[in-house]
Chain A
Amino acid sequence: DAMVIQNPRYQVTQFGKPVTLSCSQTLNHNVMYWYQQKSSQAPKLLFHYYDKDFNNEADTPDNFQSRRPNTSFCFLDIRSPGLGDAAMYLCATSPPPGLADYEQYFGPGTRLTVT
């Protein structure tokens, strides 16, 4: 089945120690997104790629970076995780917006714990 895969599902890192989260997709979608979701809150968009074009949200901290080496894969790098970065990180993919039934397909998420 076509899907969005995130690895690992659970990640524990130490304060200040760089960490990378991975997302892959078999949907061949142009657009990939990274969201941060804290407990009982709506997902917050961090950035997205439209093909190789990177689009950063204005309020995304510099501590968060992303790489998209090819259509299928996208990575979220947190350079120096703080305790406030502990959250669920969701990857999503979509075709280009514009269709009436435009949809983002979400992965299962990676739960990040910072100790």
Chain B
Amino acid sequence: KNQVEQSPQSLIILEGKNCTLQCNYTVSPFSNLRWYKQDTGRGPVSLTIMTFSENTKSNGRYTATLDADTKQSSLHITASQLSDSASYICVVTAFNDYKLSFGAGTTVTVRA
């Protein structure tokens, strides 16, 4: 069964600090892994996408890594801002499959 697990479930950080979110998956055959940011009451917005051959992808202050051998990914947020407060969801796609495997998300709260 395709599964995606994220940790931690939630975290609180001070503005300006860095944090790292983790994602482990068992989706097979692997196609791509995407990190989404979901603000409260809004739809998910894609931050990064990585395919099998990519191990790092950046989008501004967001940097995602992928280790396809260990089936792990991380999302690093640098110099956090109050607007980074949101749920971050790891989503993995199996090859040629329309269904997405969602993690439960990590809720990040940035405090001034």
Task: Give the docked Cα–Cα distance between A90 and B104 (Å).
Answer: 16
Rounded to whole Å, the gap between the CB of A13 and the closest CB of chain B is 18
Partner among B43, B46, B51 whose Cβ is within 8 Å of the Cβ of A109: B43
- Would A88 and B98 be within 8 Å (CB), given that A100-B31, A100-B32 are in contact? no
Which residues of the other chain, B, contact A98 by a CB distance below 8 angstroms?
95-96
Number of A-B contacts (CB under 8 A): 56
* CB neighbours of A111 from chain B (8 A): 41
Interchain CB contact under 8 A, A41 and B97: no
A88's nearest neighbour on chain B, judged by CB, is B41
Which residue of the partner chain B has the closest CB to A45? B99
Total residues of chain B contacting the partner, CB 8 A:
26
Question: Separation in Å of the B17 CB from the closest CB of chain A?
Answer: 24
B99 CB contacts on chain A under 8 angstroms: 45
What are 22 inter-chain pairs, A to B, with CB distance below 8 A?
A4-B43, A42-B89, A45-B99, A90-B43, A90-B44, A94-B98, A97-B93, A97-B96, A98-B96, A101-B51, A102-B31, A102-B32, A102-B93, A103-B34, A103-B49, A106-B43, A107-B43, A108-B42, A108-B43, A109-B41, A109-B42, A111-B41
B interface with A by C-beta (< 8 Å): 31-32, 34, 36, 41-46, 49, 51-52, 89, 93, 95-100, 102-105, 107
